[in-house]
Structure formats: structure tokens, C-alpha cells
């Protein structure tokens, strides 16, 4: 009996020293920072468009192609590279991709023509999918009861990186020039590759099927799981609206109404970062099985955000509030969507994530380009109308969603 009592005491102390979810807090923090740093590569160019417009003597619509092709590159990476997260040892794959990202960013920083910058951005966009290998990695480490919270914490790092990237880019370009933005990011990617190589545990592949069959199985997952396609289309609409807003806002802020400097645009982008706070809450909502109602609420919030942005054409406070609300809505649907798809097949999380992210990044690429074209022809009012229309379409699609009694929520609800 004394031995039994001593054993219980030891176990209690051990349990008290470990996180309730069993995943070390330091590892979660590293994954969050790594996701934020890699995802930031997709957005450094957004506040630079007006500067690049002058440097390379290109039109507003042409400059918008830089954002579009970066996101197209991300889609290519999601389709062809992220599924390898199920097929290859993840630590080695992550290191290799970050090495290519580093080389592409150096090329972008030294580019002497806009075409070279476009190609380099396409490549860096494709290999920056490291973030989307790390997120399912975190999901695999977490127990079922805490998966939403763990993914939410990692995603909060990713989303914070996306939002802070604009501020960092604006500040660095103002002080040292736009080239240093890309070259500085190359240094960060090289350092991150070394850090992750040392810190991440080895993670064995979850499938041994040949690479062509891995790609084919990704398409089959879309057909097998209706919730995967539905959540992808929801997020495509939301991310299209998000991209249209952030691709064109720099033109608004630097234009006649506000006359902001690049630093001013960067400071404004900090406002949107407040929206990242919703990510852990969204994970909590998902764990409490509130995915469907909170998804509908997020669509309504996005519509409201664009209504405020349209009304606040000459009022920076309203535009700032709109940015916060929009970022909150987009991040909430993203976390809720990922929580849904990760439950569909535990052995195919990288491929599920690949199909999900590729779908909505196509929406983002389309939103970026449409936003640039619409702004050129109709100004900010036209952009806000476009932005509001996309979540309205998602809301209408959401109304067709039916919950069927007796079926697994993870499998048949979105």
C-alpha cells in the first residue's frame, strides 16, 4: 500500500508538470512562429505595390499580378508538395522546402525586372507551403479532445505572421528599400530551416503509396468527403474577399483621401492583426461542436465589415474597424474548417489540408486580381461591393447545408 500511494504521488507530480493536452508548450510556440514566418512570405508584397508600380513603371493592374502569382504558386505547392507530408519524413521535407524558399527570396531581392520578380515570387509562394505541413503535424500530435485548441494556437501564429508581414514590409522598405524586405526574409528562412531541423522530432510517413497515387488519392478525398469541398468553397469566398481588401487598401491609404506613407500603411496593417485573437476562440468553438452556427455568424460579420468599409471611405476609424472584423471572420472560418477536415481521415491529414488550402487559395488569387481590376475601374466603392458579395454567396451556400440525424458530425457536417 505505501508503494501504491508513492506511485500515485509520482504520477500526480508528472501529470502536473505536463500540459493537459500532452504537447510541450515550447513545441507549440515554435510551430506557431514557424507558420507565421513562412506564411508572411505571401504578403510582404502587398504594401509594396505602389512602390513597385513606380520602380518598374507598370500599371496598377499589372502590379496586382505579383500578389496573384504568389498565391497561384501557393496553390501549386498545396497540390503537388503538401501531399508529400503524408508520403515522406516531414522534418527532411520541411528543410528542403525552406532551402528552396531561401534561394527564391534572394532572387526576388536581386531582381532587375518585374518578370524575374514574378517568377521568383511564384517559386517562393509554392515552397512557403511549409506552414501547411506544420499545421497537420501539430494536429497529429494533439489528442482528440484538444485538437481544436492546439490547431487554433498554431494557426494564431500563422495568421499573426500574415497580418504583421504587411507592417514589417512597410517599415523595412521605407528605411532600407523594398529589396531588403526579400533579402531579409531569405535570412529568416535559412535560420528557420536550421532551427526546425534541430527541434522537430522525426515524423514517419503515414502512407507508402507511390507519389502519383498520393496525388490521385487527394482528388479522391474531395469526392469521398463532401464536407471537404464545402469547407474549401466557404473559405475560397472568404479568402477572396480578404485578398481583395488587402490588395487594394494600400492604394486607398496612399491616395488623395489619406496620403499615408508606406510606414503609415504598415501601421494601419497592425490594426488588422487584432483579428488574430479569434483563432484560439474558434478552436474552442470547434471543440464544443459549434462549427456550423459560428460559420454562419462569420459570414454575416464579413458582410458587415465591407458595409462599414464602404461607408467609411473617408473615415479611417471605420475602415480600421472593418479590417479587424474581416480578419476575425476569415480566421474563424479557417480554424473551423480545418478542425472539420482533420477529423475526416487521421491518416490523410496532409492531403486533406492540401485540397482544402488549394481550393481557397484559388479564391484568394481570384480575389486579388479582381480587386485590382475593380479598383482600377470603379474605385474603393466597387471593391467593397465585390468584397460583400463573396461572403453573401457563401452564406447562401451555407443555408443549403443539412445535418442528417445519425451520421458522424466529423464526416457529414461542415
Helices H / strands E in the chain, number of each:
18, 0
Using alpha carbons, select from 67, 87, 110, 116 the residue that is nearest to residue 246. 67
Residue 15: HSE in the Cβ half-sphere, 13 Å Cα cutoff: 7
- Residue 402, Cβ neighbours under 10 Å: how many? 7
pLDDT at 257: 81
Model confidence at 7, pLDDT cuts 50, 70, 90, reads very low
All structural domains of the chain: 23-412 (1.20.1250.20)
Say how far apart CA 41 and CA 7 lie, in whole Å.
50
Q: Which of 187, 199, 167 shows the shortest CA–CA distance to 98?
A: 187
Q: What is the CB-side half-sphere exposure of residue 165 using CA atoms within 13 A?
A: 26
pLDDT, tens only, 110-152: 999 999 999 999 999 999 999 888 887 777 777 777 777 787 7
Is pLDDT of 21 > 80?
A: no
Q: Which of 5-9, 84-88, 252-256 has the lowest mean pLDDT?
A: 5-9
Q: What is the pLDDT of residue 195?
A: 95
pLDDT reported for residue 12: 44
- How far apart are alpha carbons 63 and 107 in whole angstroms? 18
Tens-place pLDDT, residues 22-44: 567 788 889 999 999 999 999 89
Q: Which residue has the higher pLDDT, 19 or 32?
A: 32
86-90, 113-117, 196-200: least confidently modelled range: 86-90
Distance CA 269, CA 281 (A): 22
For 262-280, the pLDDT digits (tens) are: 778 878 888 777 776 787 7
Residue found by looking up cell 479564391 in the block: 363
pLDDT band with cut points at 50, 70 and 90 for residue 204: confident
Name which of 335, 414, 389, 363 is nearest 239 in CA terms: 363
Task: Give 116 or 202, the one with higher predicted confidence.
Answer: 116
> What is the mean pLDDT of the segment spanning 390-398?
97
DSSP for 357-386?
HHHHHHHHHHHHHHHHHHHHHHHHHHHHHH
Residue 5 has what pLDDT?
47
CA 226, distance to chain mean position in Å, is 22
Cell numbers standing for residue 377: 475601374
* pLDDT over 80 at 13, yes or no: no
Average pLDDT, the chain: 85
Residue 56: helix, strand or coil by DSSP? Answer: coil
Amino acid at each position: 500500500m505505501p508503494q501504491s500511494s508513492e506511485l500515485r504521488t509520482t504520477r500526480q507530480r508528472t501529470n502536473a508538470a505536463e500540459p493537459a493536452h500532452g504537447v510541450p508548450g515550447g513545441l507549440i510556440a515554435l510551430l506557431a512562429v514557424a507558420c507565421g514566418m513562412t506564411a508572411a512570405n505571401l504578403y510582404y508584397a502587398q504594401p509594396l505595390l505602389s512602390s513597385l508600380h513606380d520602380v518598374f513603371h507598370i500599371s496598377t493592374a499589372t502590379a496586382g499580378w505579383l500578389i496573384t502569382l504568389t498565391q497561384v504558386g501557393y496553390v501549386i505547392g498545396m497540390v503537388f508538395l503538401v501531399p508529400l507530408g503524408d508520403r515522406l519524413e516531414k522534418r527532411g521535407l520541411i528543410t528542403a522546402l525552406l532551402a528552396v524558399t531561401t534561394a527564391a527570396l534572394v532572387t526576388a531581392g536581386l531582381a532587375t525586372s518585374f518578370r524575374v520578380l514574378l517568377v521568383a515570387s511564384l517559386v517562393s509562394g509554392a515552397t512557403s507551403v511549409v506552414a501547411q505541413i506544420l499545421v497537420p503535424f501539430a494536429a497529429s500530435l494533439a489528442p482528440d479532445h484538444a485538437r481544436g485548441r492546439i490547431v487554433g494556437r498554431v494557426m494564431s501564429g500563422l495568421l499573426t505572421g500574415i497580418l504583421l508581414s504587411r507592417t514589417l514590409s512597410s517599415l523595412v522598405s521605407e528605411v532600407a528599400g523594398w529589396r531588403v524586405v526579400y533579402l531579409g526574409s531569405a535570412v529568416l528562412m535559412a535560420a528557420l530551416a536550421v532551427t526546425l531541423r534541430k527541434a522537430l522530432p522525426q515524423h514517419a510517413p503515414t502512407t507508402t503509396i507511390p507519389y502519383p497515387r498520393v496525388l490521385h488519392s487527394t482528388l479522391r478525398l474531395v469526392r469521398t468527403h463532401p464536407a471537404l469541398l464545402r469547407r474549401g468553397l466557404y473559405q475560397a469566398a472568404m479568402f477572396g474577399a480578404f485578398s481583395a481588401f488587402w490588395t487594394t487598401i494600400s492604394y486607398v491609404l496612399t491616395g488623395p483621401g489619406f496620403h499615408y506613407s508606406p510606414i503609415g500603411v504598415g501601421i494601419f496593417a497592425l490594426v488588422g492583426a487584432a483579428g488574430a485573437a479569434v483563432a484560439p476562440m474558434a478552436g474552442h468553438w470547434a471543440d464544443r461542436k459549434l462549427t456550423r452556427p459560428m460559420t454562419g455568424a462569420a459570414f454575416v460579420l464579413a458582410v458587415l465589415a465591407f458595409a462599414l468599409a464602404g461607408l467609411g471611405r473617408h473615415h479611417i476609424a471605420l475602415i480600421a474597424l472593418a479590417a479587424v472584423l474581416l480578419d476575425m471572420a476569415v480566421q474563424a472560418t479557417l480554424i473551423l474548417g480545418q478542425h472539420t477536415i482533420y477529423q475526416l481521415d487521421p491518416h490523410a491529414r496532409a492531403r486533406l489540408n492540401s485540397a482544402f488550402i488549394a481550393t481557397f487559395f484559388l479564391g484568394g488569387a481570384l480575389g486579388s486580381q479582381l480587386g485590382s481590376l475593380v479598383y482600377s475601374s470603379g474605385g474603393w466603392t466597387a471593391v467593397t461591393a465585390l468584397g460583400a458579395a463573396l461572403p453573401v454567396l457563401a452564406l447562401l451556400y451555407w443555408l443549403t447545408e443539412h445535418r442528417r440525424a445519425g451520421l458522424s458530425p466529423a464526416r457529414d457536417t461542415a
